[in-house]
Amino acid sequence: MATLTFDSLNPATGAVVGTHPKQDATAVREAVGRAEEAAAWWAALGPAGRRRRLLDYKAVLAGRLRELAELVHEETGKPVGDAALELVLTITHLDWAARNADKVLRRRRVRTGMIGVNLEATLEYLPLGVVGVIGPWNYPVFTPMGSIAYALAAGNAVVFKPSELTPGVGVRLAELFAESVPERPVLQAVTGLGETGAALAADPRIKKIAFTGSTATAKRVMAACAENLTPIVAECGGKDAFIVDADADVRAAADACLWGALSNAGQTCVGVERVYVVDAVYEPFMRELSERVASVKAGRDYGPITMPGQLDIIRRHIDDAVKSGRAVTGGPSSVRAPYVDPVIVEDVPEDSPAVREETFGPTITVRRTRDAREALELANASAYGLAGTVFSRNTRRARELARLMRSGMTAINSVISFAGVPALPFGGVGDSGFGRIHGADGLREFARPKAVARQRFPLPGMNLTSFTRRPDELERLIRIVTFLHGRRKR
């Protein structure tokens, strides 16, 4: 008989952190039913009521920061300090979403244009209803909350399916929400394996799915959603590039590069995976990188690989990279499960798996380029397009490179800094997915635009939308439009 529960394990020790129910399609259906009712109540509360409760939830999370960080540490293996940082970022986003939802989404008048001169036109963003959030394990608070906080602030109820590796964190986030909003189950967690997520995606009462995970699973989720025409926002990871231009501060670049690549054991969707260094600074950058990496230790500065299966992918990429390139730091022996020591390999061919596929480990490939233009071309030659980094002292040039980088976000002279700015939207292009969380775009992602045009007075002699319209009325309109729009400007 199939087991009805599953354990979440500490990936560093193998100890059982918690046992959770495998919620089946019936349980998911029931949760969505409760959420539908809660969504109506939450929407009716209005922006001020939601704001007050979400700011209270923020205070609850801040009050439990240490306890939550400890739980994140236990389920993912990451250092408690990194888990705390994740919570700090989450709280900042929740605060922004709560405070800005009304301003971004509330009804506003828009210009009507010439033909609508007798109209009043308004636009507002209404809640969708129930949003399903399917979350990952690498940042089990920050990543799903990037959808949850914005969906709640936009007036929706949420059913959240945390990763099977971090169910305890998901359940706790929902429990703590109920302290601020005890009246209705506006945020629920459903636990289980892939099937639980599949049941959520297949429920026709879900009005949007926010998915974070692999590109392959995103496609499966999208196929399930297609059945009901349920829209999705998909955040599917990346193969982010780090460009070091000729005038970069090489010490700062090496420092940032290492943190971007190795923190969280490289299990970061916007982590650094490919490094392109302009010839003029290649030697000093590599010297700096090699010196600094010597003092970074797996198990002390960053945790284990959270998902055991990922070790095979990391091992395959390292084996392949050292065969075709030159190991600067580490190599195949760096994989000592569940930890992986830092690996840096130079001159790995651009068509190899280590350069093309998401590794999700503490490894980087480094390539020397003629100039920043070549670095950008190589950076952009990826199926993924989530984020990236540019190091340059020339602000104009750095901005231009950032703009031309085929990615949703780019950090200049820092890594991942965009994630800490709640007003900035977060999401990718290509195999990295589509749609946006965070910022005003993230709020609108979980709302539907509602457009209303109200006639204030009839236009004399211009009754255009009537069978009683006379030819001279149309003639007058054509003359006006020709006068206003008919002149070509060269």
Residue numbers annotated as active site? 235, 269
Please say which residue, 214 or 329, places its beta carbon nearer to ligand NDP: 214
Q: Which of residues 265-284 bind ligand NDP (CB under 6 A)?
A: 269
Point out which span in 104-112, 234-242, 338-346, 459-467 binds ligand NDP (CB under 6 A): 234-242
Distance of CA 445 to the CA centre of its chain: 12
Point out which span in 60-68, 73-81, 194-202, 271-279 binds ligand NDP (CB under 6 A): 194-202
Point out which span in 34-42, 116-124, 231-239, 452-460 binds ligand NDP (CB under 6 A): 231-239
Q: Which of 87, 97, 134, 398 binds ligand NDP (CB under 6 A)?
A: 134
Q: Which of 76, 217, 230, 410 binds ligand NDP (CB under 6 A)?
A: 217
Please say which residue, 193 or 246, places its beta carbon nearer to ligand NDP: 193
Q: Token pair for residue 247? A: 């005038």
What are the distances in angstroms from CA 444 to CA 54, 138, 380?
17, 25, 28
Amino acid identity at 245: D
Q: Which of 43, 201, 278, 318 binds ligand NDP (CB under 6 A)?
A: 201
61-67: Cβ within 8 A, 24+ apart: 61/87, 61/90, 61/91, 61/94, 61/176, 62/91, 64/176, 65/91
Please say which residue, 298 or 387, places its beta carbon nearer to ligand NDP: 387
CB of 406: closest distance to ligand NDP in angstroms? 17
| 103: enclosing H helix or E strand | helix 80-105
How many CB atoms within 10 Å of residue 474? Answer: 12
Q: Which of 54, 131, 141, 198 binds ligand NDP (CB under 6 A)?
A: 198
Q: Which of residues 288-307 bind ligand NDP (CB under 6 A)?
A: 307
Distance of CA 240 to the CA centre of its chain: 14
Residue 129, exposed/middle/buried by CB under 10 A (0-12, 13-18, 19+)?
Answer: buried
Which single residue is written with the structure tokens 């990952």? 136
Give the strand pairing for 232-235 and 206-212: parallel
At CA 225, angle to CA 224 and CA 228, rounded to 5? 110
- Lay out the site mask for ligand NDP across 328-367 (x = CB under 6 A, - = otherwise): ------------------------------x-x-------
Are residues 86 and 267 in contact, defined by beta-carbon separation less than 8 angstroms? no
Are residues 262 and 240 in contact, defined by beta-carbon separation less than 8 angstroms? no
Please say which residue, 104 or 224, places its beta carbon nearer to ligand NDP: 224
CB of 287: closest distance to ligand NDP in angstroms? 31
What are the distances in angstroms from CA 133 to CA 25, 194, 352, 423, 432?
16, 13, 33, 21, 17
Q: Which of residues 140-179 bind ligand NDP (CB under 6 A)?
A: 143, 161, 163-165
Give the number of residues in contact with ligand NDP, rule: CB under 6 A. Answer: 29
Point out which span in 170-178, 217-225, 314-322, 434-442 binds ligand NDP (CB under 6 A): 217-225
Q: Which of 92, 112, 118, 214 binds ligand NDP (CB under 6 A)?
A: 214
Q: Token pair for residue 467? A: 């069978």
Provide Rg for the chain, Cα atoms. Answer: 26
CB of 268: closest distance to ligand NDP in angstroms? 7
Beta strands in 26-84 (DSSP E): none
In DSSP notation, 278-293 reads EHHHHHHHHHHHHHHH
230 binds ligand NDP (CB under 6 A): no
Q: Which of 11, 77, 132, 135 binds ligand NDP (CB under 6 A)?
A: 135
At CA 97, angle to CA 225 and CA 435, rounded to 5? 30
Please say which residue, 189 or 376, places its beta carbon nearer to ligand NDP: 189
Point out which span in 52-60, 93-101, 233-241, 278-286 binds ligand NDP (CB under 6 A): 233-241
Measured in Å, how far apart are the chain's first and last C-alpha atoms?
76
- 175 contacts: CB under 8 Å, gap ≥ 6: none
Please say which residue, 143 or 334, places its beta carbon nearer to ligand NDP: 143
Q: Which of 76, 147, 310, 410 binds ligand NDP (CB under 6 A)?
A: 310
Q: Token pair for residue 401? A: 């490179």
Please say which residue, 128 or 201, places its beta carbon nearer to ligand NDP: 201
Q: Which of 145, 148, 221, 250 binds ligand NDP (CB under 6 A)?
A: 221
Which single residue is written with the structure tokens 């993230």? 442
Point out which span in 137-145, 151-159, 244-252, 316-324 binds ligand NDP (CB under 6 A): 137-145
Q: Which of residues 392-431 bind ligand NDP (CB under 6 A)?
A: none
Are residues 186 and 159 in contact, defined by beta-carbon separation less than 8 angstroms? no
Which residues here bind ligand NDP, judged by CB under 6 A? 134-138, 143, 161, 163-165, 193-194, 197-198, 201, 212-214, 217, 220-221, 235-237, 269, 307, 310, 358, 360
